[in-house]
């Protein structure tokens, strides 16, 4: 990991040289050591995300970007949980010292409190959910609607808004929310996404009607 961090620090993520060097290092030294149920290292996720976003967003890679950002957000949430746990343990052992247990110093406590601050965590989650994930959903759907890949839209809608396709059972159940960018959504978040999905579905239906009427008008005009 130290070598990877040096590589990412010393070279630009969008250069061909960087992509080759980093890709080779990841394939040879990192992937073989990652368990199938683990997230890749944060540095790897950030590097790949930057490669998709900079210098210009690669629209065709939005689904991959969503999964990568989903994993980054999962790591952030774990960091918040661990920061809270560390602070709780520090408080316990401050009042009940135990041999061999080192208490946090002032700098460490300040850093962990900053990570664990509830208001900040909630704001980060809101930005992730509404300003990033839902915005990328809308952007990708719009791009598909105006592209030759329109035929994939139905599959994308099922991936983004899985509860819309549930005919029976609990639409908020984990079994339906399996994408890396939505698997960790709470029930309330899934209900919010469902509402956006319904609005998107209604918009697409209206857009389809408009498109059909435009085609009929042109056909009649050109007779």
Cα 191 from Cα 197, distance rounded (Å): 10
Q: What is the pTM of this model?
A: 0.80
Q: Does position 11 have pLDDT exceeding 80, yes or no?
A: no
In Å, how far are 75, 115, 116, 123, 173 from 120, measured between CA atoms?
16, 8, 8, 5, 28
- Residue 199's pLDDT is 95
- Residue 223's pLDDT is 65
Q: What is the pLDDT of residues 157-212, one digit of tens each?
A: 999 999 999 988 899 999 999 898 998 899 999 999 999 999 999 999 998 888 88
49, 68 contact by CB (below 8 A): yes
CB atoms within 10 A of CB 125: 16
Cα 199 from Cα 193, distance rounded (Å): 10
Q: Three-state SS across 109-152?
A: HHHHHHHHCHHHHHHHHHHHHHHHHHHHHHHHHHHHHCCHHHHH
For the record, the structure tokens of 4 come out as 């990877």
Angle at CA of residue 196, ends 213 and 116, nearest 5°: 155
Q: What is the pLDDT of residues 87-144, one digit of tens each?
A: 999 999 999 988 988 999 999 999 999 999 989 889 999 999 999 999 999 999 999 9
Most confident option among 20-29, 36-45, 65-74: 65-74
């Amino acid at each position: 990991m130290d070598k990877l961090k040096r590589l990412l620090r010393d070279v630009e993520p969008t250069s061909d040289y960087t992509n080759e060097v980093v890709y080779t290092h990841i394939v040879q030294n990192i992937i073989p050591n990652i368990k199938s149920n683990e997230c890749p290292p944060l540095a790897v996720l950030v590097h790949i995300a930057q490669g998709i976003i900079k210098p210009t967003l690669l629209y065709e890679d939005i689904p991959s970007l969503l999964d990568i950002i989903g994993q980054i957000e999962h790591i952030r949430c774990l960091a918040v949980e661990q920061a809270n746990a560390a602070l709780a343990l520090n408080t316990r052992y401050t009042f009940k010292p135990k041999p061999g247990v080192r208490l946090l110093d002032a700098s460490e406590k300040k850093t962990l409190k900053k990570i664990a601050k509830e208001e900040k965590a909630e704001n980060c989650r809101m930005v992730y959910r509404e300003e990033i994930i839902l915005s990328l959903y809308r952007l990708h759907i719009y791009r598909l609607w105006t592209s030759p890949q329109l035929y994939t839209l139905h599959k994308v809608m099922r991936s983004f808004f899985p509860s819309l396709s549930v005919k029976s059972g609990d639409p908020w159940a984990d079994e339906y929310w399996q994408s890396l960018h939505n698997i960790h959504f709470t029930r309330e978040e899934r209900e919010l996404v469902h509402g956006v999905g319904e609005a998107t579905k209604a918009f697409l239906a209206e857009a389809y009607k408009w498109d059909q009427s435009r085609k009929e008008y042109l056909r009649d005009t050109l007779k």
